[in-house]
Amino acid sequence: MLRLLERITSARKLPLIVEEARVEREPFAAGILLELGLANMFEDAEIRAKSIRSIINIKPMQKQLLKEIY
């Protein structure tokens, strides 16, 4: 996630993420919002990510891990 955040903040192009990787990238959406300070708590980050892309569905284990990190 830190590598992705570095690319976002340095305005580098992000690699194209294929649709099959959706499960792996969904937690990153919430994590990036938290890292950038655009959300204060995981719940806020999840709601904001879903408002941007409604298809986001973070799995319970992924939610728990993100809550422990943030």
DSSP 15: P
Contacts of 63 (CB under 8 A, 6+ apart): 27, 42, 46
Whether this prediction's pTM lies above 0.75 is answered by no
Rounded mean pLDDT, 39-62 = 90
- Phi/psi class of residue 63: alpha, beta or left (left: φ > 0; alpha: ψ in -120 to 50)? alpha
d(CA 7, CA 9): 6
What is the pLDDT, as a whole number, of residue 46? 93
Q: How many whole angstroms from its chain centre is CA 14?
A: 14
How many C-beta neighbours within 10 Å does residue 34 have? 20
Provide the pLDDT confidence category of residue 25 given band limits of 50, 70 and 90: confident
For residue 31, what are its two tokens? 């994590």
